[in-house]
Amino acid sequence: MNIKKRWLIGALLILSLVAFVGCSDDGEELSDMEIFERAFMQNLERHSYEFTGEMGLMVEYLNMPDQSLGSMLGAFNNMSMNFEGMINGEDLMDPEMYMSGQFNAAGMGVAMEMYMLEEQIAIKAPMMAQIMGDQRLADGYLIMDLEEDFYNQEGFEEMDPRDQEELYGMLQQFGEIYMEIVEEEFITNEGETEIEINEESLDVQEFEIYMGREEIRTVLESIPELMEEESFRELLTEVARISDGEIPVEEMEQELDRFIEEFDQEKVDEVMDELDQVLDFEESYFSMTLYIDEDYNIVKEQYDVNIVVDQEETAFSLQILGGMEYWNINGDIDIEAPEFTDENSVPLQELMFAPGF
């Protein structure tokens, strides 16, 4: 499969899973689906917020004759991560972020702290002292200069700010187009409930998104219909132009036509048969719960992903549990980073050109 086709399929699958957006007129009583759509539209327009989150991974061996595979999977069992931080993205071209957290795996805990500022990224993680071979990093920051370490490197092309803004707008349009064909059965309003976010009680509506075998089939079957939408084709070719200016529009159009022609019902059946040979859909699923406040902000999300692989003599399950909470949405976010000096930080360029690196 060539690069363009891989990019096309990947973009479509990602879009199919995340682009549930839309909008309704103010003043009208909204249906469950309209509430859900409006919340996702506002979620795309969210630029600044504070957050906290956690994630855990569990592995269970059902049948594992391959000891090397069992050892590799075992290293991920009971892996967990806790984090908190804030994002100030009011300036779309120069977003700032602060995050700190703890990563736990194989009986070890690794603490981390990161600042993403206008011109640099600063990371503090004591474990880097061993990895990078410099003891100054045991309690100091590794400084990456975006201009010097990334933008000026051969093969790296910084995106034109105008294209960046255009892509942001396209993300909203992608969702609006896809919302026209997404199935309401994916989404359930579980009713009103009260939750606590950042020590504040909120009345919210609880929505659940569930995807199992039949929902995956529905997404696959909707792809040709989506790609025949003229507005979607125009957006897709424009994204291709911005991402890779070397792809001619005519070539992209031909690629879309070939994909539609090949991706028929028989192809859907073939993909599902291949998935059935690997996954146990009786136990495999993707579930996400969203909590939407009275202003249509998504203030909390929880996810539960269970993947059960059952192929020939090998069988195991992977379960991912986690969630995030958000507050101060589009409020004033002031990220105060410490002053980075020779005493508390080490430039990446200095390490890269150090003897023995």
Q: What is the DSSP string of 61-106?
A: EEE---HHHHHHHHTTTTEEEEEEEEEE-SSTTS-EEEEEEEEEET
Q: Which residue has the higher pLDDT, 182 or 231?
A: 231
Q: Which residue has the higher pLDDT, 179 or 194?
A: 194
Give the pLDDT confidence score for residue 43 in this predicted structure.
85
Q: What is the pLDDT of residues 34-46, one digit of tens each?
A: 888 888 878 878 8
On the question of pLDDT at 152 being above 50, the answer is yes
- The arithmetic mean of pLDDT across residues 277-306, rounded, is 94
* Tokens found for residue 15: 């879009």
At 308, the pLDDT band (50, 70, 90 cuts) reads very high
Give the pLDDT confidence score for residue 293 in this predicted structure.
96
Percent of the chain with pLDDT over 90: 36
Give the pLDDT confidence score for residue 323 in this predicted structure.
97
Q: State the chain's mean pLDDT as an integer.
A: 80
On the question of pLDDT at 197 being above 90, the answer is yes
Q: What is the DSSP string of 155-213?
A: T--PPPHHHHHHHHHHHHHHHHHHHTT--GGGEEEEEEEEEEETTEEEEEEEEEEEE-H
Give the pLDDT confidence score for residue 232 in this predicted structure.
72
* Tokens found for residue 222: 């909707």
Identify the CA nearest to 181 among candidates 290, 20, 341.
20
At 313, the pLDDT band (50, 70, 90 cuts) reads confident
Separation CA 285–CA 307 (nearest Å): 7
- The arithmetic mean of pLDDT across residues 315-329, rounded, is 94
Give the pLDDT confidence score for residue 245 in this predicted structure.
56
Q: Which residue has the higher pLDDT, 105 or 177?
A: 105
Q: Which residue has the higher pLDDT, 128 or 15?
A: 128
Lowest-pLDDT range of 70-74, 137-141, 191-195:
70-74
Q: Which residue has the higher pLDDT, 345 or 261?
A: 345
- The arithmetic mean of pLDDT across residues 333-354, rounded, is 86
Give the pLDDT confidence score for residue 25 in this predicted structure.
44
Determine contact, residues 83/99, Cβ cutoff 8 Å. Answer: yes
Helix axis angle for 213-228 and 249-262, nearest 10°, is 140
On the question of pLDDT at 285 being above 90, the answer is yes
Q: Which residue has the higher pLDDT, 22 or 271?
A: 271
* Tokens found for residue 10: 């990947």
From the number of C-beta atoms within 10 Å of its C-beta (0-12, 13-18, 19+), residue 232 rates as buried
Determine contact, residues 136/161, Cβ cutoff 8 Å. Answer: no
Q: What is the pLDDT of residues 297-306, one digit of tens each?
A: 999 999 999 9
On the question of pLDDT at 271 being above 50, the answer is yes
Its pTM stands at 0.78
Q: What is the pLDDT of residues 48-76, one digit of tens each?
A: 999 999 999 998 877 767 667 667 667 77
Give the pLDDT confidence score for residue 124 in this predicted structure.
94
Other C-beta atoms within 10 Å of 125: how many? 19
